[in-house]
Structure 1
Amino acid sequence: MKVFMDLKWFFKQEKRPYMVGILLLILVAMLELVPPKIIGIVVDSIKEGTLTGSLLLKWMMILTVAGILMYVARYFWRVMIFGSAYKLARQLRDMLYAHFTKMSQTFYQKKRVGDLMAHATNDIQAIQQTAGAGVLTLVDSLTIGVAVVVVMAATISWELTLICLIPMPFMAIMTNWYGRLLHQRFSKAQEAFSALNDKTQESITGIKVIKTFGQEKEDVEDFYDKSADVVKKNLAVARVDALYDPTIAIIVGVSFFLSIAFGAKFVIDGRITIGELVSFNAYLGLLVWPMLAFGWLFNILERGRASYDRIRAILDEPVDVKDRPDALDQVPTGDLAFQIDGFTYPGEQQPVLKQIHFKLRRGETLGIVGKTGAGKTTLLKLLIRESEGFSGDILIGERPIDQYKLERLREAIGYVPQEHFLFSATVAENISFAMPDAAIEDVHHAAKLAKVDQDILQFTDGYETIVGERGVSLSGGQKQRISIARSLLMQPEVLILDDSLSAVDAKTEEGILASLRETRAGKTTIITAHRLSAIQHADMILVLDEGEIAQMGTHDELMERDGWYKEMYLHQQLEAIVEKGGSHG
């Protein structure tokens, strides 16, 4: 019953519909006691020869009224109890989704997407069952069970009632043991389902790579193994689940045997009538449901507890990046200053960034270059507060960025990441993602600035073309430029292009950079790149090496010094000449 205590907050929230539903359930349980009593009375009347047509009609009318009342009550308790259970599912799903949106990159590095999806589907469904069918089964079985036993003992024979209840403690012991086994096995089954969910999501997302490398057979075999593991673990659950009905059937059979054996003797001895014995066995038949329900109840509760524990563990994960209580509710603007003494990712030993100190005036362009793994992207993620925990400060307008509300900080920053994500929507909807109410003319203008307008107009439906999941129908360069257009539409205070020109040709790159220079006067731009032509126009260039600033200056200043920048620039120029088939000289 622990899961009911865990869900106490929800039952308190929805106490009115649950109270009405439970009262209606109790009413139904009381009404179910009427037919067996009437049957016993009619049987005795037949035996004594006192049954008349009018008397039979009276009892039939009472049965009809009881049936109608049960019909109406059952309809409304379902609306109240099952309706509340659906509200719980929606509320938990909303809580999970809201929590997911607050979590940092570290959380998603530790958790698998398929597992998180399983929490929001399978686990929520199990908890919904607990708050719906679980409450129904508990209240209904207890009410009917207690009421039937009381009526049997009070109106027929307390001795016969006690005799027939002798097998019940054995059922309690067995179902309790089954419940413990079920909890353990269902937790493993849910974990297996999460792994299968994750495998399916990953394979569908990476289908191009799988097919390119000819790994379809191996991938199908891996899926088959995980699917077989789900079946195996669910069969283990089913084997325990299957023990409930036979166990209860045996105990019910023993109770009926005791009822007939001792009841017949009681009739012969004149302690009860034949009609009362018929009623007693009818009441005993009503006890079958509560006994079966208890077995089903343990099943539901153990599944719900395992799933609620999994969801609770996710919701209890702390939010790494959150607003300070006194955070400013304004969009930051002004000069940028980085004063980072050091930053190390959680769980790592070596710092990723060390002694990053520089200032960028508002309206300037910063270029950041360096080898792969030098810390370029990490530096940008600290600026947008995707990660925290560094020693030092990052300031905008002479205020540390954590003094602004997170929402306002990100309103000031347009970020185009290395991995471009497009939604399964139209091109126009993807560009206007951050500004859904933007005029279509502004969407077109942003696309023109990103040099993707002509490509879009060649699509079958132009700006209304559905790009497919993750932009599967577009080339890498088109996805990059649509992502750039999405950020340009925001007209952000700070625009970040994190190696976002790598998939476009040199001519297109130059066109995009020219657009940025024309339209972003007075606004700050930060560009990281491996191709140095993308940042040679910048007001300041940082060369990062193993998380430290190895060189800093303008393009001309860095070309006057020996170092990584000059060496790499000359190397790339030579490559460009060779690709054109020309000669250096």
Structure 2
Amino acid sequence: MIKILKNLSFYKWIVLAVFGLVFVQSMADLFLPTLMADIIDKGVVIGDKPYIWKIGGFMLLVAAIGMVASAVGSYFSAKAAMGLGRDLRRKVFTHVENFSLQEFDQIGTASLITRTTNDITQIQQVVIMMLRMVISAPIMFVGGVIMAVSKDAKLSLVIVAIIPILVGTVLLIMKKGIPLFKLVQKRLDQLNLVLRENLTGIRVIRAFNQEKQEQDRLQFANKELTDVSIKVNKVMALMMPVMMLVMNLTVVAVIWFGGIRIDNGGMHIGDLMAFIQYVMQIMFALVMASMMFVMIPRAAVSAKRINEVLEMKPTLLDKGSAKANRERGTLEFEHVTFHYPGAEEPALSDISFRANSGEITAIIGGTGAGKTTLVNLIPRFYDATSGNVRINGVNVQDAPHEEIRSRIGFVPQKALLFSGTIAENIRFGKEGASQEEIEHAAKIAQAEEFISKMENGYESIISQGGSNVSGGQKQRLSIARALVRKPDIYIFDDSFSALDYKTDAKLRAALKNETQNATVIIVAQRVTSVIDADRIIVLDDGKVAGMGTHKELLENNEVYREIVESQLSEEEIA
């Protein structure tokens, strides 16, 4: 929690202003009961009306000062807390952007969302309370005790007797509540995970008539969160009744013993009323402190979860400074082996090849052969366990991420579009791309035809996730996004799977002219997509089972021949 609160140093002047305003408000609150005692003892009892008006007017002024201080202090505390929340979200988001896929897998997307939203909100709420109460509660407590003792020292023994009961109650409730707060955040993560899976996988759920099962799954996660939240609130709900009971019993005791003191002539009526007010202020200070102590453990859990993200060091450190410009459009794998974290067997073993500018290198193989894993090493989504991956003659681990990725046009296996216009989605590949460049990229990607049929053309809106366009249209827009970049290396990771054979053929023909000065890496399931490649790499169980042209592999490689025979007829093969 302390690490998180250090971020408030940016708002130190606002925090100091809040402390000053809270101090003024607390002193005003402590001064009012004494003025009230004076009005009663020196004004009401002896019937001195001018004195009553005089002190009454002064009380209104003190109350007004306290009210203004309270209002301005609340504004500044909210400003500091909201600013802290904004800074933390930006800090977490910026840090997470540097994570490799390994860190995302480790924490989980659902948990990252919860930590960036709910956990930071918890901290904001506690910071607002702390800024208001960390000064107010001690001042009201200490000041109330001093003022109460000044009115009647013997009657103050009632307060001494009651404070241990209040402190013990707070400690007991905290002991019960802290473990439950941790559980609440975990259950919230799980609910977020189930809800996210339901929303993103709604098509699959409906296709397999699994709505009932998913409803039950969500209901179970929701019930688990509800049950633990109810337990927490039951524990917390004890706080206020116990405090109020103790407070009211304390007031009864003060009035009882105070009445005896007045009968004996040891105390004035005004002092008794002021004493009751100070007792109430002491009790409220303890209630405020107890509320703060109840909320701080929950915020501490949230702070720990945020620190876990901020302290997690990305495995793919941007440690290089070499410029990848010695050679243009070359890609080289040199004895590359890769293990996924925790895996017993390598996903890739001893992969070696070199692709030059103007060449098309195709990667083909069965499901789980390691095709996508291989291309994920090129933009350094993962680091090779051993061996070297070089782009333009420079090891990807020795060059800055931005430098390496700026030279790559990547089309992922699953086409992903962002909410916005078609032009904005294509321009995502090259910031500042002209309309002419966008239209050219769309034309090469065979997207021009369906874009022109849309009502607003390139300004047509793409909904979240591209749900208002077909799979083939999404793929073509993703390809256009890579083409507008005009990179040194194009990576098409099974990016033609949703296209019909006619569109696939037209696209590959158009790409041949467009990418003649760049290296093209194509991952494909269909033989027809790779048949014209300059080099075909056949992967089998993470190893290179063969490498060569279509004709060479057909004659010499059994694995490739099996793939071809499973897709093409004998006439087509011939």
Report the TM-score range of the alignment, normalised by the length of the smaller protein: over 0.9
Q: Alpha-carbon deviations, 1:254-306, whole Å to 9, x = none?
A: 32122112212222222221221121112222223212212211222111111
Partner of 2:89: 93
> Is 1:186 aligned to 2:186, yes or no?
no
Match of 1:51, as an amino acid?
A: D
SS in 2 for 1:551: strand
Counterpart in 2 of 1:407? 402
Match of 1:30 in 2: 27
CA distance in 1, matches of 2:390, 2:14: 52
Instruction: Tell whether 2:486 aligns with 1:491.
Output: yes
Match of residue 251 from structure 1: 246
Q: Tell me the alpha carbon deviations over residues 180-202 of structure 1, each in whole angstroms, 9 at most, x when there is no partner.
A: 22211111112112211221111
* Structure 1 residue 29, shift from structure 2 partner: 0.6
| Partner-residue secondary structure (3-state), 1:550 | strand
Q: Partner residue of 1:296?
A: 291
* Aligned counterpart, 1:580: none
Name the counterpart of 1:542.
537
* Secondary structure class of the residue paired with 2:346: coil
The aligned runs of 1:466-477 (5 Å cut-off) are: 466-477=461-472
Question: What residue identity is the alignment partner of 2:83?
Answer: K
Q: Is the 8 A contact 2:418 2:462 kept in 1?
A: yes
Q: Partner of 2:233 in structure 1?
A: 238
Structure 1 residues 438 and 575: CA distance shift in structure 2, 3 A:
farther
Is the 8 Å Cα contact of residues 370 and 543 (structure 1) preserved in structure 2?
A: yes
Aligned-partner SS, 1:165:
helix
Q: Please, which of 344, 351, 369 is the counterpart of residue 346 of structure 2?
A: 351
Relative distance call for 1:571 and 1:326 in structure 2 (3 A) is closer
Confirm whether residue 136 of structure 1 aligns to residue 132 of structure 2.
yes
What is aligned with 2:433? 438
* Matched residue, 2:263: 268
Match of residue 531, structure 1, among 518, 526, 530: 526
- In the other structure, the counterpart of 2:219 is 224
Deviation of residue 562 (structure 1)?
Answer: 4.4
Shift of 1:421: 0.9
Does the 8 A contact of 2:261 with 2:267 survive in 1? yes
Match of 2:359 among 354, 358, 364: 364
**For residues 60 and 211 of structure 1, what CA distance do their matches in structure 2 show?**
72
Where does residue 160 of structure 2 map in the other structure? 165
CA distance in 2 between partners of 1:393 and 1:476 (Å): 35
1:29-108 to structure 2, matched below 5 A, reads 29-46=26-43, 48-53=45-50, 55-108=51-104
* Inter-CA distance 516–61: structure 2 relative to 1 (3 Å threshold): same
Question: 2 CA distance for matches of 1:99 and 1:7?
Answer: 15
Q: Distance in 1 between matches of 2:566 and 2:255?
A: 99
Matches within 5 A, 1:378-389: 378-389=373-384
Provide the rounded CA distance (Å) in 2 between the counterparts of 1:336 and 1:114: 35
Q: Tell me how far apart the structure 1 counterparts of residues 479 and 320 of structure 2 sit (CA, whole Å).
A: 33
Counterpart residue identity of residue 439, structure 1 = S
RMSD (Å), alpha carbons = 2.0
Amino acid at match of 1:34: F
1:116 and 2:112 correspond: yes
Deviates more, 1:567-576 or 1:496-505: 567-576
Amino acid at match of 1:120: T
Contact 1:362 1:522 in 2 (8 A): yes
Say whether the 8 Å CA contact 1:332–1:409 is kept in structure 2.
Answer: no
In structure 2, distance between residues paired with 1:529 and 1:84: 53
User: What CA distance in whole angstroms lies between the structure 1 residues aligned with 2:17 and 2:562?
Assistant: 79
TM-aligned CA distance change 1:405 to 1:567, over 3 Å: same
Deviates more, 1:450-459 or 1:6-15: 6-15
Task: Tell me the distance in 2 between the aligned counterparts of 1:473 and 1:343.
Answer: 38
Corresponding residue SS for 1:395:
strand
Q: CA 1:562–1:60 in structure 2 vs 1: closer, same or farther (change >3 Å)?
A: closer
- In the alignment, the residues of structure 2 paired with residue 180 and residue 576 of structure 1 have an alpha-carbon distance, to the nearest angstrom, of 78
Q: Does 1:449 find its partner at 2:444?
A: yes
CA contact (8 A) 1:40 1:276 kept: yes
- The correspondence for 1:390, drawn from 385, 391, 409, is 385
Please, which moves more after superposition, 207-216 or 552-561? Answer: 552-561
Tell me the distance in 2 between the aligned counterparts of 1:420 and 1:399: 29
Cα separation, 2, equivalents of 1:562 and 1:277: 102
Aligned residues: 574
Over the matched positions of the two proteins, sequence identity in percent amounts to: 30
- 2:421 alignment partner, one of 426, 446, 470: 426
Measure how far apart 1:126 and its partner are. 0.6
Partner Cα distance (2:168, 2:321) in 1: 57
- 2:149 corresponds to 1:153: yes
Q: Give the letter for the 1:27 counterpart.
A: V
Q: Name stretches of at least 5 consecutive residues in structure 2 with no aligned partner.
A: none
Question: Which whole-Å deviations, capped at 9, do the CAs of 1:334-389 have from their partners, x for residues lacking one?
Answer: 42221024221111111111121122222211111111111111111111110014
| Whole-angstrom CA distance in 1 between matches of 2:364 and 2:329 | 24
User: Within 1, Cα distance between the matches of 2:94 and 2:232?
Assistant: 32
What is the CA–CA distance in structure 2 between the aligned matches of 1:558 and 1:30, rounded to whole Å? 89
Query: Is the contact between residue 366 and residue 539 of structure 2 (CA under 8 Å) also seen in structure 1?
Result: yes
Q: Using a 3 Å threshold, how does the CA distance of structure 1 residues 214 and 200 change in structure 2: closer, same or farther?
A: same
Aligned residue number for residue 12 of structure 2: 15
SS state of the match for residue 155, structure 2? helix
| Deviation per residue, 1:92-124 (Å, 9 max, x gap) | 111111122111112222333222211111111
Change (3 A) 1:332 1:211: farther
CA distance in 1, matches of 2:570, 2:144: 91
Looking at structure 1, the residues matched to 4 and 315 of structure 2 have their Cα atoms a distance apart, in angstroms, of 26
Question: TM-score if structure 2 supplies the norm length?
Answer: 0.96
Partner amino acid, structure 2, of 1:544: L
Cα distance, 1:77–1:332 mapped onto 2, change above 3 Å: farther
Gaps of at least 5 residues in structure 1 are 578-583
**Aligned equivalents of 1:128, 1:143: Cα separation in 2:** 23
> Deviation at 1:390?
1.8
The Cα shift of 1:504 comes to 0.6
